[in-house]
Amino acid sequence: MGILDFILNLIGLWLWLNWRAAGLSAAAASPGVSLLRTLKRAEPIPAKRWGYLVGLGLLLLFRTVIYRQIGAAVHWTPHLPLGVISLPFRSDAPGPMLLFSLFSFGLVIGLFYLWLIVLSVVNRGLPDADPLQRLARLQLGWVERLPVALRVALPPVVAALLWYALHPLFVPPPKSAWHTAEQALGMGLTAFLPWKYLIVGILLLHVLNSYVYLGNSAFWNYVNATGRNILASVQWLPLRLGRVDLAPVVVIALVVLVAEVLWCTDPSRLWAKWTLQRWWASLW
């Protein structure tokens, strides 16, 4: 069931991206990136564009029924990972399954745009001639035009504001306004944690392509450019031993270390494990 949820989230993400792409105007599309083919016309195509959004809504509703029917039969308990806490949902009730369907897809969209912001900041010097970077900029829209500092600060701010808006669904009544602010701060800090997977993954692919020739494609050119931009911050360090460059190893270690520090110092971890999870489980 977890694999099915993952696949359906990817299908939903595809529908969302095509809905966004159909409303964007751009120059001639690159033949190597299928989503850019939807940008050939400057004017939007309302029927086709809104068809993607309707399809996404039907997908989220349809899988609620599927999850309820199959999940209850196989005793599946879906969980929503929120960084400091993993909230369980009853698979035999329509209300919890509808919430899980919406929030599960919301997490995928949030993770995708978190990664786009990383690519936007790291590759801010890349020209629009790069098709993948151009696609990332088009999907980010107005966020791409923000200063770098605001782009970096945007994910934790949005995560904190979402927690303020939605925390009555997840937590017992707060003891005070400061308690809610502490929870929001913790959720904001966890917004940085998914960045490590993208950065580490790109660096591993960059190292692989540096020692093994995997072809001259737009994807590998983009991976190499992104990897070089990530490593530019440590190029001043003497990290090369002969033909072996230790910079990727050092950066990967630093990224993992920073992520662990953020996780260990997250103020919300003290209350999340013991208070929130038991309270949420008692509701459902």
3-state helix/strand/coil string of 142-182: HHHHCCHHHHHHHHHHHHHHHHHHHHHHHCCCCCCHHHHHH
The CA distance from 116 to 110, in Å, is 10
Q: What is the DSSP letter of 81?
A: E
269 or 165: whose pLDDT is higher?
Answer: 165
Q: Tell the burial category of 265 from Cβ atoms under 10 Å away from its Cβ (0-12, 13-18, 19+).
A: exposed
Q: How does pLDDT run across 87-142, given as a tens digit for each residue?
A: 778 777 788 888 888 989 998 999 999 999 989 999 988 888 888 888 888 888 88
pLDDT score, position 262: 65
The alpha carbons of the chain give a radius of gyration, in whole angstroms, of 21
pLDDT at 281 over 80: no
pLDDT tens digits, one per residue of 204-260? 888 888 877 777 788 888 888 888 888 888 777 777 776 777 778 888 888 888 777
Helix (H, G, I), strand (E, B) or coil at 267: coil
- Best mean pLDDT range from 7-21, 242-256, 262-276: 7-21
If you ran DSSP here, which 8-state letter would residue 43 be given?
Answer: S
Compute the Cα dihedral for 58, 60, 65, 66 and give only its sign.
positive
Boundaries of every domain in the chain: 2-283
Most confident of 51-55, 85-89, 273-277: 51-55
Confidence of residue 10 (pLDDT cuts 50, 70, 90): very high
Helix ranges, the chain (H):
2-22, 46-73, 94-122, 131-140, 148-170, 177-190, 195-211, 218-231, 247-265, 269-271, 277-283
Q: Which carries the bigger pLDDT value, residue 270 or residue 169?
A: 169
What was the pLDDT predicted at 197?
A: 87
Quote the tokens at residue 276: 């929130």
What lies within 8 Å, CB to CB, of 54 at 6+ separation is: none
pLDDT score at 280: 46
Mean pLDDT score of the chain: 77
Q: What is the pTM of this model?
A: 0.76
Q: Over 60: is that where the pLDDT of 275 sits?
A: no
Q: Where does the pLDDT of residue 159 fall: very low under 50, low under 70, confident under 90, or very high at 90 and above?
A: confident
Residues 6+ away with beta carbon under 8 Å from 234: 247, 250, 251
